[in-house]
Amino acid sequence: MFEEFWRETGDAAEVVIPGWQTMSYFSDVTNVCWFLEPELDRQVRRLHRVVGNAAVDGYHVLVGTGSTQLFMAALYALAPDAAAAAAGEPISVVSTAPYYSSYPAVTDFLRSGLFRWAGDADAFKGDSYIELVCSPNNPDGAIREAVLDPKTGNGRTVHDLAYYWPQYTPITKRASHDIMLFTVSKSTGHAGTRIGWALVKDRAIARKMTKFVELNTIGVSKDSQMRAAKVLAAVSDGYERRPEQTKETTTTPLRLFDFGRRKMVERWSMLRAAAAASGIFSLPEETSGFCNFTKETAATNPAFAWLRCDREDVEDCAGFLRGHKILTRSGAQFGADARYVRVSMLDRDDAFDIFINRLSSLK
Ligand code: PMP
């Protein structure tokens, strides 16, 4: 979906890397995250200040190969150390259902002795856990808060804010949680660059997360970090022109979040019309709030549609849709009912249009 925007942006987001550059493992040995390129650190902080979606002062910025690597790093850093784990059980990792399907898969695939997937946070009993809070939530777009931490105050929460950007939701507050994860995959659309970042308050946790990335991949591609920095700079430039640009530049830089919001509003209205035309699907209610970034009231436009098939005879909605050449992911993979499916709202225009046509014709 974002390709069209970046095509028009042209060389403002282009990078050229000479053969002799970015060769070392190291970026800044004085930083906790010693493989973080200083320019990426600067552009991450700058963009959060422009958007106002997360606090950066007093936070360490850590870079990962996608936020997926930092998610694993956070589990490693928050779990009791190996000696404590050897004496007891692995710590439980929970998230309120429906939860992002990668959380259980990534938590358990190496059968760690440190942590173990334990399912729905709402059903969890006990006080030793790591809670994953995804807001806006993948798959259903809900605005979420921690459910266990307010009860126990154990402080082991990871906030996955991949979708907390103005194209998807009003920015209602500056988030300031202990560990916050972000990614270019969802903010700018550059999933293939594989760059995510974490904002981490506590130095000891930041060091442990950095250690995980060191042991896992000895750092993160500098070429990718430079590309991500350039892309983030192009986004901020759209909203906050640097002083030296104001005189010479006559053309207004393009604005990513305006583009993204316009597309998402259009797509959600097409999807709601198609669901209504078919008569057999329902979607989450639209919610809205005042966006501190745009200074307007805005609706949430989630990156995924959490679609329910209301036909009594259809128990496996994903199977039913597959039969009509619509590929989705079943609700069962998100700890929910198979009458639900998750549909991506971020495909290219041509694929999205075909999806809308096929969906509206189903009875
Ligand atoms: N968190 C959430 C909630 C996601 O939906 C995704 C991508 N589907 C990710 C993390 C992964 O992001 P990345 O590409 O940065 O690894």
Do residue 200 and residue 274 come from a single domain?
no
Final residue of a structural domain among 204, 238, 272: 238
| Residue 249 belongs to some domain of the structure | no
Residue 33 within a domain: yes
294: domain CATH number?
3.90.1150.10
Provide the residue-wise pLDDT of the chain in tens; the chain has 363 residues.
Answer: 999 999 999 999 999 999 999 999 999 999 999 999 999 999 999 999 999 999 999 999 999 999 999 999 999 999 997 767 767 889 999 999 999 999 999 999 999 999 999 999 999 998 899 999 999 999 999 999 999 988 888 889 999 999 999 999 999 999 999 999 999 999 999 999 999 999 999 999 999 999 999 999 999 999 999 999 999 999 999 998 755 554 545 455 689 999 999 999 999 999 999 999 999 999 999 999 999 999 999 999 999 999 999 999 999 999 999 999 999 999 999 999 999 999 999 999 999 999 999 999 998
- What is the per-residue pLDDT for 126? 87
Output the CA 185–ligand 1 centroid distance in Å: 7
Distance in Å, CA 183 to ligand 1 centroid = 7
The answer on 177 and 101 residing in a single domain is yes
Asked whether 195 and 228 are in contact (CB, 8 A), the reply is yes
Of the residues 1, 40, 62, 68, which should be mutated to test ligand 1's pocket, given the most ligand atoms within 8 Å of the CB? 68
What is the Cα–Cα distance from 170 to 24, expressed in whole angstroms? 40
For residue 186, what are the CA distances in angstroms to 32, 215, 331?
26, 26, 21
Res 248: pLDDT: 47
Q: Do 87 and 225 fall within a single domain?
A: yes
Pocket mutation for ligand 1, best pick of 67, 96, 161, 306 (most atoms within 8 Å of C-beta) = 67
The per-residue pLDDT for 253 is: 62
254, amino acid identity:
L
Q: Which of 193, 181, 180, 186 is nearest to 226 (CA)?
A: 193
Residue nearest to atom 13 of ligand 1 (CA): 66
d(CA 45, CA 6): 22
The reply to whether ligand 1 has any atom less than 6 angstroms from the CB of 69 is no
Q: Does 154 share its domain with 185?
A: yes
Query: Which residues neighbour 295 within 8 Å (Cβ) at sequence distance 6 or greater?
Result: none
Could you give the count of Cα atoms lying within 13 Å of 55 in the half-sphere of its Cβ?
Answer: 12
Whether residue 243 is contained in a domain is answered as no
In a domain, 168, yes or no: yes
Given 177, 206, 238, the domain boundary residue is 238
Task: Tell how far the Cα of 6 is from the centroid of ligand 1, in angstroms.
Answer: 20
51 with 82, same domain: the answer is yes
Residue 317 in any domain: the answer is: yes
Domain at 212, CATH number: 3.40.640.10
Q: What is the DSSP string of 101-160?
A: THHHHHHHTT--SSEEEEEEGGG--SS-EEEEEESSPTTT------SSHHHH----EEEE
153 in a structural domain: yes
Whether 140 is in the pocket of ligand 1, judged by its Cβ within 6 Å, is no
Give yes or no: residues 232 and 262 share one domain: no
Looking at the 3D structure of the chain, how many domains does it have?
Answer: 2
At residue 88, the pLDDT reads 80
Q: Are residues 231 and 261 in the same domain?
A: no
- What's the predicted TM-score (pTM) here? 0.95
Domain assignment present for residue 244? The answer is no
Q: How, if at all, do strands 129-134 and 91-95 pair?
A: parallel
The CA 127 to ligand 1 mean position distance, Å, reads: 27
| Closest-lying ligand 1 atom to the alpha carbon of residue 195 | 15
Domain of residue 217, residue span: 1-238
Residue 49 inside a domain? The answer is: yes
